[in-house]
Amino acid sequence: MIKIVILGAGNVGTHLFRVFTQAKEVQVIQWYNRSLENIKQHQKEVALTDQLDHLKEADVYLLALSDDAIPITANELAPLKGIVAHTAGSVPMDVLKQHTNRGVFYPLQTFSKNRAVDFKSIPICIEANNDQNKETLTKLAHTIGENIHYINSTQRMGLHTAAVYVNNFTNHLYQVGAQICEEQEVPFDLLRPLIAETAVKIESITPKEAQTGPALRNDKTTLQKHMDQLSNPVFKNLYLTLTESIQKNDEYSKL
């Protein structure tokens, strides 16, 4: 049985609390949050605290906090026997270096508070400062998932940047699509099958193979029609920049 304390009650902290309380070989013995207000409805399930100096003895302390709060909170913690691990993509493990046992437990997924996620398929990226801690974090990951990877701080930073492209930026493109539909008074639903197919396609072929469209073909007539059609200057600029990126990338990959 692995005993853990979760720190933080944002999206990641809340999802980790949910999934670990259901896992068999894990016991969530405490949940810390700066404000008890958000978590007090769980007081019958788990010990709650808003005091960093009241943390119980555990095998792992998961700092599911904002990037800025991770080093601050790590500094405020008294020396602990257990592993102090954060859950962030773009924070190096080194910010925890005052702790003897440290690591990272980064689930690579987008979390929304009211949307269930299937941890079984989520990549869990692990880093640790020694083999024993790595083993403990791996065991912990196996209690909820099956897709576990050892990723160092530099690689994780890269993954997080890549994740911004395929999640935040992609979602923004969906929003641009939605706004164009709104302007044209056509339902956004018309784009949904295309969005789904675009994502599904790259499960069997690479994004490079899947690339199509006027930018890749350098079809100047269509590119101009699209530019003329766009009224929003920000979307126009986005169109040009993405077109240029597709074309430069294609040239580059032909070298």
- Judged by CB under 8 A, the residue of 29, 36, 80, 163 near its own copies is 163
Decide if residue 183 touches its own copies (CB under 8 A).
yes
Query: Would you say 61 and 83 are in contact if contact means Cβ atoms under 8 Å apart?
Result: yes
Q: Smallest distance from the beta carbon of 14 to its own copies, in angstroms? A: 14
Q: Is 75 in the site for its own copies (CB under 8 A)?
A: no
Could you tell me which of 67, 103, 64, 110 has the C-alpha nearest to residue 87? Answer: 64
Among 22, 75, 110, 218, binds its own copies (CB under 8 A): 110
Distance CA 217, CA 58 (A): 58
193-215 residues labelled b (16+ CB within 10 A) or e (exposed) = eeeeeeeeeeeeeeeeeeeeebb
| Site stretch for its own copies (CB under 8 A), options 18-26, 38-46, 48-56, 218-226 | 218-226
Q: Which two tokens stand for residue 61?
A: 């302390």
Closest contact distance (angstroms) between CB of 91 and its own copies is 9
Q: Residue 192 to residues 158, 181, 189, 196: CA-CA distances in angstroms?
A: 29, 12, 5, 6
Residue 198 found at the interface with its own copies (CB under 8 A): yes
Residues numbered 120-149 forming contacts with its own copies, rule: CB under 8 A: 121-123, 125, 147, 149
Q: Assess 35 for contact with its own copies (CB under 8 A).
A: no
The verdict on 72 binding its own copies (CB under 8 A) reads no
Report, in Å, the least distance between residue 115 CB and its own copies.
7
CA–CA distances in Å: residue 217 to residues 150, 207, 211, 250? 39, 16, 10, 10
Indicate the residue among 43 and 121 with the shorter CB distance to its own copies: 121
User: Pick from 21, 115, 142, 146: which binds its own copies (CB under 8 A)?
Assistant: 115
Residue 86 CB neighbours (<10 A):
30
Told to check if 165 binds its own copies by CB under 8 A, we report yes
